[in-house]
Amino acid sequence: MGPLEGVRILEVAGIGPGPFAGMMLSDMGAEVVRIDRADRVRGGDPENPPKDILARGRRSVAVDLKNPEGIATVLAMIEKADVIIEGFRPGVMERLGLGPEICLARNPALVFGRMTGWGQEGPMAKAAGHDINYIALTGALHAIGRRDAAPTPPLNLVGDFGGGGMLLAYGVVCALLETARSGKGQVVDAAMVDGASALMGMIYAMKAMGVWQPDRGTNMLDTGAHFYDVYATKDSKYVSIGSIEPQFYALLLEHIGLAGEELPAQMDRGKWAELKVRVAEIFKTRTRDEWTEIMEGTDICYAPVLDLDEAPNHPHIKHRKTFVEAAGVVQPAPAPRFSRTAPELVRPPSFEGQHTAEVLADFGFDQERIQALRDAKAVV
């Protein structure tokens, strides 16, 4: 089950990109145990699990990290783990007594995955921030948006998830591969400013080659081109067009009725705005479903713009089983796919502390010790 089966990971509970990294690793078959705060335990019915998709696949242990016996408990668990991941500001784990130096002393083969917005060092390292701030500093936010309009935040996909959680998961797996050769652990410093910058690699390359203009909304991929954009339809829905290659562009012109006209060259930037008005008028003559009937499945590079209710029900998405329903919640399936070690969802999201005694027993704590920790309020 999953290519990471047999890997044991501790996830110090956080928000957003931290749980996303834990979900990705768990989806791939790793045994991920979430260490939740003891003061957040509220209880709940396991037959009616939480709806938090990012928390799926993991068991939860509730520990008081301000209690010395709670810290001792985590350190004992670290001795039997392959990885620990955390998403606090720099210095927090050190103040708790769970910094890399202490943890690697207890387990020299440990991979210590750290994720922050700004990184572990630098002038802004200890400042608060969110996705929008991290991608602002990398040039990514400036590049996203329409001409003569403010930059458009792309949800929190570029900083938190692509540049943060996914970067951390990737870094952890890279470090595990190296540890398998060397027998030594190390620290993974995953910063969202680094990850978002890496995602911008192609755009910086285009800038270096002189084919990316600094003005937002004037380039081929940022809504500047008439052949790469979204268009409103007659029923006030939208379609997406990405006809970059000449042969695909020729198909677009054919299907919207412009193939026989004398038109400017496709890459004549000076005519893009004028052609965009023309193309927009044409798309408003039919509904989204009518355009889908005409264009879907062709090499135009077309897709209807679907909302969150529609997307899981599209025939291609359904055929691929890209979404699954688990515990009554429609959610993205584990990705990517593997021909031999197929990942699967093994458990729904858990309540804080739902598996404390069970997990501690699996980590070698006897019942007397577990009860002593409960009595000391070190675990809940």
Residue 365 shares a structural domain with residue 332: yes
Q: Distance between CA 251 and CA 236 in Å, rounded?
A: 24
Residue 334 shares a structural domain with residue 254: no
Residue 67 shares a structural domain with residue 42: yes
Query: Residues 36, 82, 131, 160: which is the catalytic one?
Result: 160
**Is position 209 within any domain?**
no
In degrees, to the nearest 5, what angle opens at C-alpha 159 toward C-alphas 53 and 32? 40
Residue 180 shares a structural domain with residue 248: no
Q: What is the pLDDT of residues 222-247, one digit of tens each?
A: 999 999 999 999 999 999 999 999 99
- pTM given for the model: 0.95
pLDDT of amino acid 223:
97
The Cα-based distances of 349 to 15, 23, 64, 342 in angstroms read 14, 10, 21, 20
Residue 134 shares a structural domain with residue 22: yes
pLDDT of amino acid 1:
83
Residue 39 among the catalytic residues: no
Amino acid at 371: Q
**Is position 207 within any domain?**
no
Residue 118 shares a structural domain with residue 159: yes
Residue 250 shares a structural domain with residue 331: no
Residue 341 shares a structural domain with residue 268: no
Q: What is the pLDDT of residues 180-215, one digit of tens each?
A: 999 999 999 999 999 999 999 999 999 999 999 999
Residue 160 among the catalytic residues: yes
Yes or no: say if 255 and 294 are a contact pair by the CB < 8 Å rule. yes
Residue ranges in the chain whose pLDDT is less than 50: none
Range of the domain at 270: 228-319
Yes or no: say if 197 and 128 are a contact pair by the CB < 8 Å rule. no
**Is position 107 within any domain?**
yes
The Cα-based distances of 256 to 115, 227, 379 in angstroms read 47, 12, 65
Which one-letter DSSP state was computed for residue 149?
S
